[in-house]
Each structure stands twice: as structure tokens, then as C-alpha cells.
Amino acid sequence: NIDLGFGSIQRLGVNLGAPGDRRNDEGTLWLEYPIVGGPSPEIGVQTVPEEPIAFRHHISRINGGELEWVCASGFLGIRRIVLHLADGSRGTDDYTVRLYFAEPEDLSAGDRVFQVSIQGQTVLSNFDMIRESGSIRRGIVREWKGIPVSRKLQIDLEPTPASKNRQPVLCGIEVISSRLD
């Protein structure tokens, strides 16, 4: 696991299904998960299902939005992801959590609708990436501040009946400790 000497991760991006690691202009180190592009720091990640379906597009297929290279890959069918952010020695820390999404398939608005919860609290209901972003393969980011984490950050994604049996999609997770704000 990444240990920055503080007992907790201060700033990290997890780029799901990506072919390598990268740092963005704000200083977030984005690590690929799972590791496929060569040596990379190992981070504590658990997913349900244990091996979700990864997708990867060339960045030229992404129709804009934020951090296109993050949204060019992701997991289909992800239902839960848990990031191990701290050892608990410092108590609870608050984090800003950013989730990155993009619809990877040729669908229409209303075809893939799901709910997102962070630490057991619903943060997005009836989330439709295409409706929100205006297009398929366009990156969209949602952000929440003040998410308390003592050890693990848990994100749950649940399809709604409107999803027409299509499973949730997630491209990336960025966490920034309030200690850096």
C-alpha cells in the first residue's frame, strides 16, 4: 500500500482499466488499476465483482469533458469498490471525493441509469451519464467534500429498474484529504 508517512493517503487518483500511471496538472498521481502497464505502486483496492469487466478506448474517441484520459477507460458492471486510504492511526480524516464517468457504449439517454452511494449515503440517484454529459464517451465528474474516512472509502453503484439491465460504469476515483485544502 502507498504510505506517505502520515498514516493516510493525502491525494490519489485510481484510473480503472487504464494502461499506466500518470500525474495530472493539479498534482494527483493517477495509478492504474489493475496493474497492467509495468511497475506501479500497489494500492489497497477491493471490487465487487472481484474482476469487473474493463474497457479501454483510445483518447481520440472521448468527446471532451474533464480529464479525457481518465474517462477513456473504466469498469463495466462495477457494484462496489473499496479503497484503503488510512491505517486508522490518525482517527477520521475528511476527503474530497471525485468520481469520473463516461458512457463507453453506443447507447441513448435513459439506457444506463444507476445510483451511487459513498460510505453508505446515496449521493447520486437515477444517475444517467449520457443525459448529464450530453453525449456518449464524454467525461463527467461529480464531487463531494467532507467525506469521513478512518480506514476505507466505500463506493457502491446500483442499477435502477430504468437501466434496462445495463450495469453501472465507473472510470476513475480521485481522493484529496482535507488536510491539503
Question: What is the tens place of the pLDDT at every residue in 24-77?
Answer: 998 899 999 999 878 888 889 999 999 999 999 999 899 877 789 999 999 999
Report the C-alpha gap between 102 and 170 in whole angstroms.
Answer: 8
Cα–Cα distance, 131 to 120 (Å, whole number): 25
Confidence of residue 113 (pLDDT cuts 50, 70, 90): very high
* pLDDT higher at 113 or 88: 113
Pair 142, 123: CB distance under 8 Å:
yes
What is the rounded average pLDDT of the residues 127-141? Answer: 95
Percent of the chain with pLDDT over 70: 96
Give 181's pLDDT tier (boundaries 50, 70, 90). Answer: low
Enter the C-alpha cell of residue 56.
Answer: 479501454
Among 16-25, 56-65, 122-131, the minimum mean pLDDT is found in 56-65
**C-beta separation of 10 from 179 below 8 A:** yes
Beta strand 11-16 with 29-33: parallel, antiparallel or unpaired? parallel
HSE-up of residue 174 (Cα within 13 Å, Cβ side): 24
CA–CA separation, 146 vs 163, rounded Å?
30
Q: Is the pLDDT of residue 18 over 70?
A: yes
pLDDT for position 64: 79
Residue 85 zone, left/alpha/beta (φ > 0; ψ -120 to 50; rest): alpha
Mean pLDDT lowest among 13-27, 31-45, 103-117: 31-45
pTM: 0.93
Per-chain mean pLDDT for the chain = 91
